A and B are shown apart, each in its own frame.
Chain A
């Protein structure tokens, strides 16, 4: 009798314990490149530079960043986690660059499906996708050696 209760309690605890990370996983934004790319890891610094207008080369190619549209949870989460800027601050950042005559923001695409397709096909493309929107044509990239499946991975949408 006691054994059965213990089993039931353990089962409940295990369910709760596994359910919470699963919810977190659905919010994770996975940095992706085309399947088969030699890029399997990128530093957070390079990621920040690539998405803030600097030319970053990796795997023999200049990275071509693609963003979600402003105002989406994915874009807000990525800008906050990687660029360290709020949505308003990001807007100011890109407007100021235009006035200085510097390059504009990375191209924003309208949906995860667009992101997945462009990353898979466009040479040097790099972007990010919600973990549940990954396709077979894209390849997750570790950030500072941390895979998105790792509990330490901290790039999430808002």
Chain B
């Protein structure tokens, strides 16, 4: 009897194992091999049909924007038929994903979001140090950025983005040796005092995809160069202070004009480019150009999955700076009224930059190097014979940043940054020194994706100091957030 049960058990095990093996050997049916690319390689690219970009844009939505449609009950684990049934109960139109309207060019909703930061500034300067003439020497709190983004898909392959920064300035800014006050009477509060602030349109443009590899951006945009200038926002950049070479704007931070850009994938690599034409740099470059010279620029970039993510790029910009009084009416030798264009200040400038970034898990390394040349037109140098004229000059600088993001302690990222900067010759650098070296170290915490806390220690000095200036040291704390 016992032998009989053992035999039965053995047969059952055998049958069960064979059945399981058979089930394992019968996977989901193989897909139809139509136009199958070579295995392991990317499928051949083809120009997208009209509206493909709109499809992409419609889908490129924040996770928080998931349509408020109740999820169906989890299908029972009795096979695909239950999943089929659950899928059949879903109305795609209620998700805003009606296939019939995909690519029709209908307008998408307006997305409003932004970022802000709040700072504590604590410089340490010996009493009487001349640097205090250029930078605040007191310890204080300040509200830095309050930037609002307005983004919308305008139809098939059309997009628009605006970023507007709200400022308390000009209230509290120095002008002519005095602090500016914007205090005025508030009619909504019994004429008591209220201070008004300003706005700065950081960028405002419209984009159109001509093809999958060529897009055109028209309006006011951030100059496509380097890493820092495009990272741009305080929550995104790692440190509290941007490197001098970025802050000094070797390239204009933003320009008004046309940016033709695109990218393509070549295997696992990504190649991208920008070609720009703009009003160039000038005192009113967002609304007019004070000469007929345009600013031209370009960038090429490369991205590879080398032990994580490696990116590199090179950028160039050439333009003419003109700052002059407005045109005046005069008369020629015959007494005929004519227009006269004052010379003002004019110089030609060329800037070059290269950048590289490597991210491997928590490790983050990046560096940018850039140079700039400035050559004044004859008779268009600022200054006087008494005070001296500004010379033609060149400047260059480099910084390197190393950081490591841990997945603990609020995702803390210790970082260290070093910089060497040789400035243009000017009245300021003549007084203080032309070479600036900076050490910056700190901690960047990210308790959530949208909140960033930073603590930093920044030490700048002038190795070719022309005055006996001690190191300029500042501790900073910053909290920034995305909303």
Give the B-binding residues of A (Cβ under 8 A): 1, 4-5, 7-8, 10-12, 14-15, 17-19, 21-22, 25, 30, 36-46, 48-49, 53-67, 69-70, 84, 86, 88-89, 91-92, 94-96, 98-101, 103-114, 116-118, 120-125, 131-137, 139-142, 144-145, 147-149
CB contacts (< 8 Å) of A141 on chain B: these are 31
A94 near B449: Cβ-Cβ < 8 Å: yes
Q: Please tell me if B342 contacts chain A, counting CB pairs below 8 Å.
A: no
Task: Pick the contact of A101: B72, B161, B267, B305 (CB < 8 A).
Answer: B161
- Are A142 and B39 also in contact (CB < 8 A) when A45-B265, A110-B69 are? yes
Q: Which 8 A-B pairs have the closest CB atoms?
A: A11-B13, A145-B39, A91-B449, A45-B268, A14-B17, A149-B27, A113-B86, A99-B233
A41 near B39: Cβ-Cβ < 8 Å: yes
In chain B, residues 124-165, which have Cβ atoms closer than 8 Å to a Cβ of chain A?
Answer: 149, 151, 161, 163
Using CB atoms, name the residue of chain B closest to A115: B87
B59 near A60: Cβ-Cβ < 8 Å: no
CB contacts (< 8 Å) of B74 on chain A: these are 111
How many Å lie between the Cα of A11 and that of B34 in the bound state? 41
B42 near A15: Cβ-Cβ < 8 Å: no
CB contacts (< 8 Å) of A136 on chain B: these are 80, 84
In chain B, residues 267-283, which have Cβ atoms closer than 8 Å to a Cβ of chain A?
Answer: 267-268, 270
CB contacts (< 8 Å) of B468 on chain A: these are none
B60 near A61: Cβ-Cβ < 8 Å: no
Question: How many residues from B make CB contacts under 8 Å with A?
Answer: 101
B61 near A107: Cβ-Cβ < 8 Å: yes
- Are A144 and B40 also in contact (CB < 8 A) when A12-B13, A123-B103, A135-B80 are? yes
A104 near B60: Cβ-Cβ < 8 Å: yes
- Are A117 and B87 also in contact (CB < 8 A) when A14-B21, A122-B92 are? yes
Using CB atoms, name the residue of chain A closest to B43: A58
How many Å lie between the Cα of A92 and that of B63 in the bound state? 13
In chain B, residues 1-54, which have Cβ atoms closer than 8 Å to a Cβ of chain A?
Answer: 3, 6-7, 9-14, 16-18, 20-21, 23-24, 27-28, 30-37, 39-43, 45-49, 52-53
A selection of 8 A-B contacts at a CB cut-off of 8 Å is A39-B43, A57-B45, A94-B62, A100-B233, A101-B151, A114-B87, A116-B86, A122-B92
Using CB atoms, name the residue of chain A closest to B102: A123
Q: Please tell me if B463 contacts chain A, counting CB pairs below 8 Å.
A: no
Task: Pick the contact of A38: B36, B59, B268 (CB < 8 A).
Answer: B36
A7 near B149: Cβ-Cβ < 8 Å: no
* Inter-chain pairs besides A101-B222, A113-B75, 15 sampled, C-beta below 8 Å: A4-B3, A4-B7, A38-B34, A38-B35, A57-B47, A88-B411, A92-B446, A96-B231, A101-B161, A107-B61, A107-B66, A110-B71, A121-B99, A139-B32, A141-B31
- Are A123 and B55 also in contact (CB < 8 A) when A46-B42, A99-B233, A100-B233 are? yes
- Are A114 and B212 also in contact (CB < 8 A) when A19-B20, A43-B268, A92-B449 are? no
A117 near B92: Cβ-Cβ < 8 Å: yes
How many Å lie between the Cα of A4 and that of B47 in the bound state? 65
A133 near B265: Cβ-Cβ < 8 Å: no
